[in-house]
Structure formats: C-alpha cells, structure tokens
Structure 1
Amino acid sequence: MELSSYTFVLLFLFTIAGDTVCANGIRPTKLFVFGDSYSDTGNNPKSLASSWKTPYGVTFPGKPAGRYSDGRVLTDFLAKFMGIKSPLPYQWRKYGQNRMQHGVNFAYGGTGVFDTGNLQPNMSTQIGYLQGLVKANVYTKRDLGSSLALVTISGNDYGAYTSSGGSEQGLSSFISQVVNQIGINIKRIHDMGVPRVLVSTLQPIGCLPRETIFSSYQQCNESRNSASSFHNQLLQQVVTGLNNSTRGSSFLTLDLFTTFNTVLKNKGDFTGSVKFDTPLRPCCESHKQWCFLWKFG
C-alpha cells in the first residue's frame, strides 16, 4: 500500500521548508534526479525490469509504469511539493522533449554509487548524462540555476559488497569509500550550476524483508542498522563540510532513516494513512527485496 503523502509532505516541510529550497530568492522550476529505485520513475527497460509488472503501479498511476512501488516514489512527492510535473525519465527523452522543461530523472533502480554488478549506469555515469544534455544545449546555465537536484541512495552498493564476498571487517572502510564518492558526486552536481542538492540518508537496511525474513519478519537486523547509522553519520559530516566550503546551505539531507523508523515504530498510525499491523512483513512474497518499498512507496 502507498504510504500517505501526509508523511512525506511533513518530511519535506521539515527538510526543505521555505527559503531553504530557494537559491538567491528563486524557487526552482526544474528537478534533476540521480540514484536508484527510490527515485526511478521508469528508466529501466521494460524487457528487463520487474517494475513494469504488477503489483508495481497499482495505486499510482493505476498500472505498472517503471516505478519500484505500487504508488509514488520520492521523485513524485518532491515534484508535487515544488509544484511541477514529475520529470521525464532519461530513457524517454526522445519522445518527450516538451516535458523536459521540468527537468530529467536519471535514476535507475538497482544501481549504486559504484557499479553494483547490473547493467544500470552508476551515479557518476548518471551525472555525465546531465553534462551531455548541457553540452548539447538542451539546458543552459540559467536552467541549471533554477533547478534542484535529488540524489537517493538505498544501499545497493552494500548489497553488492556482501554478494561479492565482502567481509564484516572491511565494511566500515567500504562505507567510507561510498560516502566519500557521494560527496564527490553531489559537489560535481553543484559545480555544474545546480544551486541546491538534496541527498537522502540511508534507510534502516536491517529492516528490509531480505533481513527480517530470518526472524519471520519480527525483528530488524540491528547490525545492519548500525551500518546504516554509520553511513548517515559520515554523510552528514560530508554535507556539513561541503556547506562550510560553499558558505551556504547548498547541500541538504533528506532523513529517510528517521522517517522509516518512525513509521515502523508507530505502524503507520498517522492521520489519513493506513495502519500496518505487521510493518516488517512484505506485501508480496515473490518480491522480498523490493516489497518494503512497495509497502511504503
């Protein structure tokens, strides 16, 4: 079921309320999106991605449309908050030139900061796609100056690290590498001329169905959650450092860790939302990795 927009709207209001989202008093009119399934709105090919099959898209837009959720993803909520249409997925750019006025979504579900063993472009490559559009004069420096960037990280790098035989002893070092690269990436976006970059913290990955299945969906893996907390601590340090060097609030964090934990703790018991009696149990057993997103998307 779709997490009510109420929760996400509150999140955005507390995170980027008022003038914080503006640059030099100008409210952004374009949204550029980089990341993974938490923001992908249809970049992965229909022939390869499960996001084009049910149960995805049942709540919104009413049928599978490439989103790894039964409803809206972060891109859609942020675009609505900004008062613009959700930006066009990069793979459809040739068929929707008129829709590129709202920006472009470069996010691909399954990808990461680094290569994750999939065919999807990593975050550095995604940023290169925007640079290509600028070089092709699709967007001017003025266009970039009136834009906001959303960068999402859901932990695919860490899944790939574990799958490739990475050790627990080496995880902290790898987390540092991932976060350092995030810092390089978001600075690169800002240096291109995007005045505000919003980057998500990592959700409690120990609460994903692929972890809670071992306790029959009763308990989160606190060791994995500690890794999420370490990632977020380093990320906040990176963001603070970048803001200090730019003498402003050019870089903002979207606190998914606290938001997810709040929903899990309260079982979705918010005004206007559906209550989850067993919040750790996936909605669809055949899609254990992604059903947590489907349930909360």
Structure 2
Amino acid sequence: MCPLFTLRVIFCTLPLLSVPVHCQCTKTPIIFNFGDSNSDTGGFADGLGLNFAPPNGRTYFHQPAGRLSDGRLMIDFLCESLNTSDLTPYLDSLGPNFSNGANFAISGSATLPRFVPFSLGVQVSQFLRFRARSPALMSKGYKDLVGDGDFQNALYTIDIGQNDLAGSFDYLTYAQVVDKIPSFITEIKYAIWNIYQSGGKNFWVHNTGPLGCLPQKLALHGQNASELDEHGCLHPLNNAAKAFNAQLRALCEQLRPQLINATIVYVDLFSIKYDLIANAPNYGFQNPLMACCGNGGPPYNYNANINCGRTGHTVCNEGSQFISWDGVHYTEAANAVFAAKILSTNYSSPEVNFNFFCNKM
C-alpha cells in the first residue's frame, strides 16, 4: 500500500504481526479512506461532538479514541505498516494534520440513501471539496495539507457495505435484500469514478465481512438452528454478504479496463474474517461468536438495550483473546490478524504487495 513514490527503503514491521512489510517510499504515503465504523478513526465523535464511552480504547490508547474497538483498527495497522501516522478524521477541527491524507469514514455510514450524512456519496463530496481547497490553501502558506500533485499518487481505500446489508435485514426478506445489492454496488461505482475523474488512480477496495457471524446478529436472529452453519454463523446473512462481494468483485473487474492507468485492488476480507472465526483456536482466540464487551453472558454476550459502555455492561479481562469487541466490531487483537492477512497479499486481486504502488513510479 505504498503509493507512487520514488525509492527509499523503509523497513516497516507491523506491531503484533508476523508479516514484515518492506516499504520503498521517499516521502510520507498519502491515504484517503472512505467507509463506516470498521475504519472510523474519530469522525463520528468529531461530527457529533462526543466520544465513545470507556472501555472503548482501553488497549493501546488507554482511553476512548473515537474508535469502536478496545484499540486499533485495521486502517491503523495498515498506516503503521507504511511508517505513517494514523489518519486524521476529515471532521477534526482541533489542530488537524492532513499531510498524510484524511479519513472520511463515519460510523453508521452506508452507500444509501444518498445525500444523508454520512453516506458514501457525501464522503466523496467532502473529499472533492478537500481536493479543491487543500492545494489552494497550501499556496497561501497553510501547512499540514496535501499538495496538488500528491492526489494522483495517493491511495484511496474503500470499506463500506456492511450497514447497507445489516439495515436491510431489519425489514426485508433475504430475497429482497439480495435484490437491493446492485443499488449498493452502483454507489461504490460512482464513488470510484468521481475520485478517478478528480485524478485518483490507486484504489484499494475491501469487500464486506461475514455478517452472519456477528454476535449482535446471532443474538437477534440466531434462534433457528437450521439457519446456522457448522461454525454457528447465520447462513442467510453470510450468503447475502457473499452475493454483495461477488458483485463488488465484478465491479472492480469491470472498471479496470475502463479506468486508464489506474490500479484497483480487491481485497477479500470476508475470507480473512471467516477463517479467523472458523479456526479461532489455531490463532489463539477463544469464544469466536461472543462479544468481549456487552451484556447477557454466553453464548453471545449481546443485549441491544445494554451496549458496551452503557451501565450494566460486562467486559472480558484485558488481553483476553476475543474476536468480537462489542458484538458488531472487532478487538484490536483480531484487527491485527486481519491486517497481517491483508499484507500477505494472498487475499488481494490482483495479488500485489504494497510495494507495487511504489514500483509503478
């Protein structure tokens, strides 16, 4: 994930991970991220003027840090692998530093409906405003922004769709949810095209994870044993995620010949996350379908009325090897494994490592 920069070898070892990454970049990598709570590093907190309650952030940050996790997210680990600082939320108004890009992801975001804060389309509109304003302000002497030429070499990461599917299952049948998927994919297509037309050429697209393995969904919908697979996950929700991912992959393949001189990497996060859940003991994890922070105890420790951080919640011991943090989001330990798998390139199409972007220079 080293964008197009000339060569200087930086040995980047991702903390907690066994996969070393060699980055060959002469200047700070620039990343623009779009998505939901899976990659929100504080945009929701900045936008609403509040922060998530403890014990969120207890690991690494040792306090709430605008992330729905006990610690770092995948995007944090990926930035560390590039030897660059965490992405600053676009909505951060208190001394922001956008010299290495910006994070437009907001918890709760989806592709649809359009024009509703903070849908994917709104995030892209925010980026286009940033794209126009940043070089203009730099020409007037402002610091900690992105210069005009750096937007073309930047990496654009997209991780969205989970909320579209999850929200649809609240009021639609499986068949109706699947029928809506093309409309979600169309919004992602528009986003990529709009960024490309503004000069972006390097895209890193994550598919959506196994929705049917989330403790929240299992606690709310998992009473029918016939709908559970051999690992205890819900077939219908996971099948819908697979249908979404198949169409997202097809979109990436469709766009590659259309976006001249662009690179679009599709990353199979579904397989990465499902593998960890299905083989949790092999990775040193326990209770793969149970939330660390929640209420209700086994098997899922999820109560919609007593979420993590609310009065009455319980939380596992710090350092416990849980995969799910709060029933919807993942622990830092799980995010570290996900990042390592991404960096291995085994789940990327085309199968490229992050040096690929450097070597294109």
State the TM-score, normalizing by the size of structure 2: 0.68
Aligned AA (1:143): D
The alignment's C-alpha RMSD in Å is 3.0
Question: 2:272 matched to 1:263?
Answer: no
> Following superposition of structure 1 onto structure 2, how do residues 141-220 of structure 1 map, counting pairs within 5 Å?
141-163=148-170, 165-213=171-219, 214-215=222-223, 219-220=232-233
Aligned AA (2:106): Y
Give the structure 2 partner of residue 104 of structure 1: 102
Going from structure 1 to structure 2, the CA distance change for 1:146 and 1:73 (only over 3 Å counts) comes to same
Going from structure 1 to structure 2, the CA distance change for 1:277 and 1:149 (only over 3 Å counts) comes to same
Q: Give 2:126's match in structure 1, choosing from 113, 119, 129.
A: 129
> Following superposition of structure 1 onto structure 2, how do residues 108-123 of structure 1 map, counting pairs within 5 Å?
108-115=106-113, 120-123=117-120
Aligned AA (1:235): L
Instruction: Measure the CA separation in 1 of the matches of 2:291 and 2:232.
Output: 13
> Following superposition of structure 1 onto structure 2, how do residues 1-297 of structure 1 map, counting pairs within 5 Å?
5-6=16-17, 29-45=29-45, 52-92=52-92, 94-97=93-96, 99-115=97-113, 120-136=117-133, 137-138=136-137, 139-163=146-170, 165-213=171-219, 214-215=222-223, 219-247=232-260, 250-267=263-280, 269-270=282-283, 275-285=284-294, 286-287=306-307, 290-295=326-331, 296-297=334-335
Q: Once structures 1 and 2 are overlaid, which stretch shifts more, 221-230 or 37-46?
A: 37-46
Q: Is the contact between residue 69 and residue 293 of structure 1 (CA under 8 Å) also seen in structure 2?
A: yes
The Cα shift of 1:54 comes to: 1.4
Q: Is the contact between residue 28 and residue 84 of structure 2 (CA under 8 Å) also seen in structure 1?
A: no
Q: Is the contact between residue 212 and residue 234 of structure 2 (CA under 8 Å) also seen in structure 1?
A: yes
Q: Once structures 1 and 2 are overlaid, which stretch shifts more, 123-132 or 80-89?
A: 80-89
Q: Is the contact between residue 116 and residue 156 of structure 1 (CA under 8 Å) also seen in structure 2?
A: no
Instruction: Measure the CA separation in 2 of the matches of 1:114 and 1:203.
Output: 18
The Cα shift of 1:261 comes to: 1.1
The Cα shift of 1:280 comes to: 0.6
State the TM-score, normalizing by the size of structure 1: 0.82
The Cα shift of 1:268 comes to: 5.5
Instruction: Measure the CA separation in 2 of the matches of 1:47 and 1:143.
Output: 27
What secondary structure does 2:174 align onto?
A: coil
What secondary structure does 2:232 align onto?
A: coil
What secondary structure does 1:33 align onto?
A: strand
The Cα shift of 1:146 comes to: 2.5
Going from structure 1 to structure 2, the CA distance change for 1:195 and 1:96 (only over 3 Å counts) comes to farther
- What percent of counterpart residues are identical? 24
Structure 1 or 2, whichever has the larger Rg, is 2
Going from structure 1 to structure 2, the CA distance change for 1:108 and 1:265 (only over 3 Å counts) comes to same
Q: Is the contact between residue 42 and residue 89 of structure 1 (CA under 8 Å) also seen in structure 2?
A: yes
User: Structure 1 or 2: larger helix share?
Assistant: 1
Going from structure 1 to structure 2, the CA distance change for 1:180 and 1:18 (only over 3 Å counts) comes to farther
Q: Tell me, which stretches of 5 or more residues in structure 2 are unaligned? A: 1-14, 138-145, 295-305, 309-324, 336-361
Describe the superposition over 1:196-226 as per-residue Cα deviations: whole angstroms up to 9, x where unpaired: 1111101010101122223599710011111
Q: Is the contact between residue 28 and residue 146 of structure 1 (CA under 8 Å) also seen in structure 2?
A: no
Aligned AA (1:250): T
Q: Is the contact between residue 114 and residue 122 of structure 2 (CA under 8 Å) also seen in structure 1?
A: no
What secondary structure does 2:282 align onto?
A: coil
Instruction: Measure the CA separation in 2 of the matches of 1:145 and 1:27.
Output: 14
Aligned AA (1:129): Q
Aligned AA (1:291): G
What secondary structure does 2:44 align onto?
A: coil
Instruction: Measure the CA separation in 1 of the matches of 2:49 and 2:73.
Output: 16
Going from structure 1 to structure 2, the CA distance change for 1:47 and 1:69 (only over 3 Å counts) comes to same
The Cα shift of 1:257 comes to: 0.4
Going from structure 1 to structure 2, the CA distance change for 1:192 and 1:27 (only over 3 Å counts) comes to farther
Going from structure 1 to structure 2, the CA distance change for 1:280 and 1:108 (only over 3 Å counts) comes to same
